[in-house]
Amino acid sequence: MATYMHLGEQVDPDEYVVCEYRVTTDIPMEKAAASIAAEQSTGTWTDLTTTTERIVGDYGAKVLSIEGDRTVIAYPVEDFSIDVGGVPQILSVIAGNLFGLESIGKLRLEDVTFPKCITDMFPGPRFGASGLRRILDRPEKPLVGTIVKPKIGLPPKETADYVYEAGAGGLTNSKDDETLTDQRFCPIEDRTVAVAEALDRLESEGHRMVHAVNVSTNGDRIVELAEKVQSWGAREIMVDVITCGFAAVQALAEDPSIKVPIHVHRTMHGALTRDPLHGISMLPIAKLVRMCGGDALHIGTLGVGKMSGNPAGDLANLHACLDPMGGYREIMPVCSGGVFPGMVGTMVKRSGFNVQIQAGGGVAGHPGGVRAGARAMCQAVDAAFAGIPVAEYAETHPELKTALDRWGTR
């Protein structure tokens, strides 16, 4: 085990994938960290007659530091596949069998940094935040969107009516829910065509809007389905990255036939991210989505929505979307999950303006209906952009006032 310990050593960042783990264990941290490094590279539970010093020296992971319950482990780039964009194999190395090690109680992958030789394998976003802003002709203000609610049950015409009303109220974005794909009550072709007609109507009235059609399906069919929804008029597509896989996002981003932005939903991420001591934090997931070519990604609500999360963690996810990385375009961070107008000011104060704020129930639950709910959301965003307290802005904006009376502020 000692051969994996390199405490204090500085490695070449161009030659290693560097990971930070949080470890909860009853055994000494040095032994736990060495066990992780061995298990995920050249070792196992016992000494091997087939292992040599050269193999461990060239391909063994290195434990670089241990501070409290955190350890940093570096994996040589030679441990990773030479295939273009091998996310499945990357995850097998940095987030594989280590979670099942009996000697370790809990373990969480907190962060990962990739060298240029690996980021160069991935396409990155084709549109990104700047591309979405260009499509929507909205250069500075936060994008403001909705999710069609109820999440399932509406037929195509009513779905399109919802989208039209939301756009007429000023929203820039809408999308299918993560559970809506191609059910009998709302076939994807009929829905896509109806929504495209609603978007065309809005554009003829002078308002630009995009709607993300959920193309989440089996990996061998996802590009074909995306091509079809494009032909039916889709202006954006959506994929559930955890359930479909990172390779699905990459397949869509790399295929030249896909010419619309890719909105990435993170449904099921809580199974990996919610336990602060075990699993995988959202931060590595966000980095991988950006590498694979997502153009927008759900990051949490910066501590104010209905979903589990905290401001610091969600802010780190936001930075993973926007900070320089691999020469990639920025991707649009999406704040969604129990959002309503009274929390927009707090959210934007934490996020800045390069963000998409998205409300489902916070639009459809407005007493005045979808159009009034959309107006209230837009008014809240306008207030935040202008630096005006939301309660003050509501004095002259009745839709916002109604929303604050219903849900309050946060």
Cα three-residue angle 134-137-139, rounded to 5 degrees: 75
For 147, half-sphere exposure in the C-beta direction (CA atoms, 13 angstrom radius) is 28
130, with CB counted inside 10 A (0-12, 13-18, 19+), is middle
| Residue among 62, 211, 265, 287 flagged as catalytic | 265
Q: What CA–CA distance (Å, rounded) separates 67 from 75?
A: 19
**Cβ within 8 Å of residue 124, ≥6 positions away:** 253, 290, 291, 293, 326, 327, 328, 329
Dmax (CA) for the chain in angstroms is 79
Count of residues making up the chain: 410
Residue 265 annotated to the active site: yes
Q: What angle do CA 271, 276, 277 make, to 5 degrees?
A: 100
DSSP conformation letters of 333-353: EEEESS--GGGHHHHHHHH-S
Q: For the purposes of burial, counting CB atoms within 10 Å of the CB of 172, is it exposed (0-12), middle (13-18) or buried (19 or more)?
A: buried
- 220: nearest Cα among 198, 192, 248: 248
Burial class (CB in 10 A: 0-12, 13-18, 19+), 257: exposed
Nearest to 255 by CA among 287, 285, 290, 226: 226
Query: Catalytic: 149?
Result: yes
- Whether a cis peptide bond, with omega within 30° of 0, leads into 139 is no
Q: Which of 62, 141, 149, 298 is catalytic?
A: 149
Spatial distance between the Cα atoms of 158 and 55, rounded to a whole number of angstroms: 62
Residues involved in catalysis: 149, 265
